[in-house]
Chains A and B, each alone.
Chain A
Amino acid sequence: MRDMKRTTNALALAVFWFAGLTTVFVLGAVILYVFVNGIGHISPEFIFGQPHGVNAEGGIWPMIVSTLYVTGLAMVIVTPIAVLAAVYLAEYAVQGRLVRTIRFAADTLAGVPSIVMGLFGLAFFVEGLGFGFSVLSGAFALSFLMLPIVMRTTEEAIRSVPRYIRWGSYGLGATKWQTVSRIVLPAAMPRIITGLILATGRAVGETAVVIFTMGTMINTPVLPTDPGRSMTVHLYMMAMEGINLPAAFGTALLLMAMILFFNLSARWLLRRNRRMQG
């Protein structure tokens, strides 16, 4: 009986170890595969060069610019709105139907499939408002995607600020806004920035939204009204057409490197902040 119990336990634990390590293995496999196949293609000419020819040989500079441009613009649009929205939810809101509606809407927005967001961007920004296939349309559509993410992380950041700090501020006669703007937000800033970086990482990797709002034209956008092709869209098109696979691997590697950079810097920021506090 006792042996049986022990054997079952050991067996079960082995299964859980397997599950945990498989997950790590899969991540390792994806990263390693892209790295090994892509690293040989990364060169200054590839990063900073212009593509040419039917198979888009040469560099991917226009795609890198398009990706950073649309993501940066989306961040500029979404940051003030999402942060202030989170301030409302965390500091001002009184529980009730209004707050419930806002939370439900944010959850719904977070769950909207990206292709639906893409078609919405096409119908609203590209055609409805007449922005055309442009960085601007892409940035607006992406900002809707980022809004619930930034709202949630910011709200959590604000709520993690200890209450007594606020009481100190009120005790000195500060108004609500003075307390929020000079005490709470600065204290929550590292975690807010972490959330922003993570949302940016999401936006950089997004494909279905930008393909229908920014278009697929290879172009280095200058004005927000210019069209462009993001790195993800480029990778998709190269992979599906099966031509010029080395460039596809190179693009995939750069894309992963960018996202990894965003994620690791968010992590680093969080850890540094924790160490300073603790």
Chain B
Amino acid sequence: MTDEPRPNEMPTVRGDVSNLKLVSRATYIKEAALKNLFLLCAFMAVAGVALIFLFVGYRGWPIFTEVGLGDFLFGQEWLPTEGLFGILPLFVGSIVVTVGALLLGTPLAVGAAVFLSEIAPPKVRTIVRPAIELLAGVPSVVYGFFGLLILRPVVADLTGGLGFGPLTAWIILAIMIVPTIATLTEDALHSIPEGVREASYAMGATTWQTISRVLLPAAKIGIVDAVILGMGRAIGETMAVLMVVGNAPGFFRGMGAPLSTLTSQIVMDMPYASGMHRTALFGMAIILFLVSMGLVLTVRLLSRLREDVS
């Protein structure tokens, strides 16, 4: 996701059409027109980002002017019926859910990636790798359903209460981000030259020593990339979290106590919200958009860093 494909290295034919001097004028115009059409298509990605920012921003903007940035971002009460639109509890909820999921999911994902790339016999690999890819394809609403019916009762026994809360969300989200982190970590491990491993083994290192002292440090930036993208996935995840987290807009009160996040609150409130309440929900979407954009930006900066190192 982060690696920029290398520039086209064809020596003779460059990207522009100005070196097409030997063709007829009609062909030249056609080629130039097509090139610009393709550019326009590629520009749709930029247009998409701009449109999202504009339209969600336009709807959400009044919350910053009428309620105020401070009261919106740092207000401690989310009580739309009484005109209190503080999203701090929801924001903290999102962070609690995301951090917990990362703590649970990252070791499992990195472990699975190391297993796949360094340890698994080819036969096992041909089973495990597709399984991880399929795990990424399961819709989030199915994970939510699974969590609601299977995990929630187990968590309820553990913590008391109904089992709606951060713990259930952590486990479900951890399962959901494992494929993201694992595949990207595996890519990072793959890009380490084989000679590095051979050198380590030649000096008498065991597999574990090679992994822990040579390979993981070498893949460090790639793994950080993977974790950040997993984080983006977790913070933006909506349906699965919504179905198991309990949706009580308040601060963290324990692993088994209902909580709410930015994403889940938007889905819960949107069907009936009106006026400033609705504006606040769009304002929350802006915040989510900015956070996800910030994460993408971080990954890009990291990959530039990696290029500098190598």
Chain A residues close to B by CB (< 8 Å)? 5-6, 8-9, 11-13, 15-24, 26-28, 30, 33-34, 80-82, 84-95, 101-117, 119-120, 122-124, 128, 144, 147-148, 151-152, 155-156, 159, 163, 166-167, 170, 175-177, 198, 201-202, 204-208, 211-212, 232, 235-236, 239-240, 245, 248, 252, 255-256, 259-260, 262-263, 267
Contacts and interface: CB of A to CB of B under 8 A. Distances in A.
B100 to A, nearest CB: 17
B216 to A, nearest CB: 11
Interface of B: 1-2, 4-5, 7-10, 12-17, 20, 23, 27, 30-31, 34-35, 37-39, 41-46, 48-49, 51-52, 55-56, 58-59, 107-108, 110-112, 114-116, 118-120, 124, 127-128, 130-135, 137-146, 148-150, 175, 178, 182, 206-209, 211-212, 229, 232, 235-239, 243, 263, 266-267, 270, 281-282, 285, 288-289, 292-293, 295-297, 299-300
A23 B178 contact: yes
A167 B1 contact: no
Contacts, number: 292
B178 A163 contact: no
Q: Is the interface of B mostly helix, strand, loop or mixed?
A: helix
B144 A236 contact: yes
A255 B8 CA distance: 40
Contacts of B124: 20
Contacts of B51: 120, 124
A24 B127 contact: yes
Given A108-B293, A120-B56, A81 B131 contact: no
Contacts of B7: 94-95
27 contacts: A5-B209, A13-B208, A17-B119, A20-B111, A92-B38, A93-B15, A94-B14, A95-B7, A104-B297, A105-B46, A109-B48, A111-B292, A113-B289, A115-B266, A116-B292, A119-B282, A152-B1, A175-B23, A175-B31, A176-B13, A177-B30, A198-B137, A205-B137, A232-B141, A236-B144, A252-B145, A263-B133
User: By CB atoms of chain A within 10 A, which of B20, B27, B45, B137 has the most?
Assistant: B45
A191 to B, nearest CB: 14
A87 to B, nearest CB: 5
A94 B300 CA distance: 19
Contact of A113 (B31, B35, B292): B292
A119 B111 contact: no
A5 B203 CA distance: 14
Contact of A33 (B146, B295, B299): B146
Contacts of A92: 15-16, 35, 38-39
Contacts of B236: 111-116
Q: Is the interface of A mostly helix, strand, loop or mixed?
A: helix
A205 B140 contact: yes
A85 B38 contact: yes
